[in-house]
Amino acid sequence: MLDWLYIWLQSFLSWLNDTLLYVPKWVLEKLLAGLSALLSAIPVPDWMSAASGYLSGIPSGVVWFLDIMHFGFGVTVVLSALTLRFLIHRIPFIG
């Protein structure tokens, strides 16, 4: 007798659930798109454009030594560790 009401209520609650789950995703998508546009609007500094000229002035012996010592990997590991340390200190009751 009231099956139509049960079906309607079930479909309405399903729609409401879908809507309430979609809205936060939509808001996050718009916020990230705005952040991306904001970061894209920041101009590249002049010294960054000329970095290749500065790096080409490094003597080949120094470049060879840095390559043998895996300087690039070392810098990556150290910066990752410092970033992780910074983030852990931001967590309440841990850092």
52 found inside a domain: no
Match 């991306």 to its residue by tokens.
36
Range of the domain at 72: 57-95
Whether residues 10 and 35 fall in one domain: yes
- Per-residue pLDDT of 48-70, as tens digits, reads 888 888 888 899 999 999 999 99
Instruction: Kindly report the pTM of this predicted structure.
Output: 0.46
| Residue 76 falls inside a structural domain | yes
**Identity of the residue numbered 76:** T
**CA-CA distance, 56 to 67, in Å (whole number)?**
15
How far apart, in whole angstroms, are the C-alpha atoms of residue 37 and residue 43?
Answer: 12
pLDDT for res 53: 84
Report how far residue 21's alpha carbon sits from residue 1's, in angstroms, rounded to the nearest whole number: 32
* Residue from 45, 67, 42, 43 nearest 54 by CA: 45
Which band of pLDDT confidence, cut at 50, 70 and 90, is reported for residue 95? low
Inter-CA distances, 88 with 29, 46, 95, Å: 27, 34, 6
Q: How far is CA 61 from CA 3, 52, 64, 68, 76, in A?
A: 84, 18, 5, 11, 22
How confident is the model over 58-83, as a mean pLDDT?
Answer: 95
Average pLDDT over residues 8-14: 93
Do 30 and 63 reside in the same domain of the chain? no
Is 70 within a domain? yes
My answer on whether 39 and 67 are in the same domain is no
Answer whether residue 71 is part of any domain.
Answer: yes
Number of domains in the chain: 2
Residue 48 lies in a domain: no
pLDDT single digits (tens) 12-50: 999 999 999 999 999 999 999 999 999 999 998 888 888
Residues 13 and 36 in one domain: yes
* pLDDT value of position 52: 82
